[in-house]
């Protein structure tokens, strides 16, 4: 009791607090300057979706609807038809990004590596309805980031 009184009287705990903050004044700062610096991302990162093409320009998707079936959030809607050359292709491939939970099951289910999730995280929508990505938009994303997508898949392949 007596000791505690003198400790309080001498502001002992306040001095201890000052010592801690004084130490942190000189501590190394770990802040990441976000737009310029970014934290490293795994090649398995599941971000924005994309539809890929074969190197000859033919779209990979064969409208098997496995992704639509496996999707736990029912975010994918697919309509299919037979194209002039007799192959089955999608006429509508839509992903609602508000419904999507980014689980990556669609990518796992895809037998032809068509639907993939890229590492892109910084995207936004300005109007209602824009969150539903159509086939052409998904293909465009795939075309734009194909090099990145292929490199990530190649790096991850040896662990699969």
Partner 1 sequence: MLIYAIKFILIACVIVSLIITVVLYTYSERKVIGFMQDRIGPNRVGPKGILQPIADVLKLLLKEIIRPSHANTYLFIMAPILALVPSLAAWAAMPIGHNLAIANINVGLLYIFAMTSLGVYGIIIAGWASNSRYALLGAMRSAAQIVSYEIPMGFALLGVIMAAQSLDLSVIVAKQNGGFVHWYAWPLFPLFVIYWICATAETNRAPFDVAEGESEIVAGFHVEYSGIPFAIFFLTEYINMILVSFLAVIMFLGGWHAPFLFLAWIPGIFWLFAKAIFMMFLFLWFRATFPRYRYDQIMRLCWKIFIPLTLLWIIVEAVAIQFGLQPWFGI
Instruction: List the interface residues with partner 1, window 25-84 (CB under 8 A).
Output: 25-27, 29-31, 33
Nearer to partner 1, 26 or 159 (CB): 26
- DSSP state string for 60-127: ------HHHHH-TT--EEEEEEE-TTS-EEEEEEEEETTT-----HHHHH-TTS-EEE-S------SS
Nearer to partner 1, 9 or 159 (CB): 9
Q: Are 110 and 67 in contact (CB under 8 A)?
A: yes
Told to check if 101 binds partner 1 by CB under 8 A, we report no
> CA-CA distance, 76 to 117, in Å (whole number)?
13
Parallel/antiparallel/unpaired status of strands 132-133 and 88-96: antiparallel
Minimum distance from residue 55 beta carbon to partner 1 (Å): 44
Q: Are 62 and 112 in contact (CB under 8 A)?
A: yes
Nearer to partner 1, 14 or 154 (CB): 14
Which of 11, 74, 81, 82 forms a contact with partner 1 (CB under 8 A)? 11
Minimum distance from residue 14 beta carbon to partner 1 (Å): 7
Nearer to partner 1, 11 or 154 (CB): 11
Residues that bind partner 1 (CB under 8 A): 11, 14, 17-18, 20-22, 24-27, 29-31, 33
């Amino acid at each position: 009791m007596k000791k505690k009184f003198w400790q309080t009287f001498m502001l002992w705990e306040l001095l201890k607090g000052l010592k801690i903050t004084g130490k942190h004044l000189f501590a190394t700062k770990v802040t990441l300057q976000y737009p310029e610096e970014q934290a490293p991302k795994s090649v398995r990162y599941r971000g924005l979706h994309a539809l890929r093409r074969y190197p000859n320009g033919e779209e990979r998707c064969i409208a098997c609807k496995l992704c639509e079936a496996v999707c736990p959030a029912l975010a994918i809607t697919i309509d299919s038809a037979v194209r002039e050359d007799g192959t089955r292709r999608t006429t509508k491939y839509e992903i609602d990004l508000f419904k999507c939970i980014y689980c990556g099951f669609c990518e796992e289910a895809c037998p032809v590596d068509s639907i993939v999730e890229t590492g892109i995280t910084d995207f936004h929508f300005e109007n209602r309805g824009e969150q539903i990505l159509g086939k052409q938009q998904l293909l465009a994303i795939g075309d734009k980031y194909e090099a990145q997508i292929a490199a990530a898949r190649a790096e991850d392949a040896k662990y699969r």
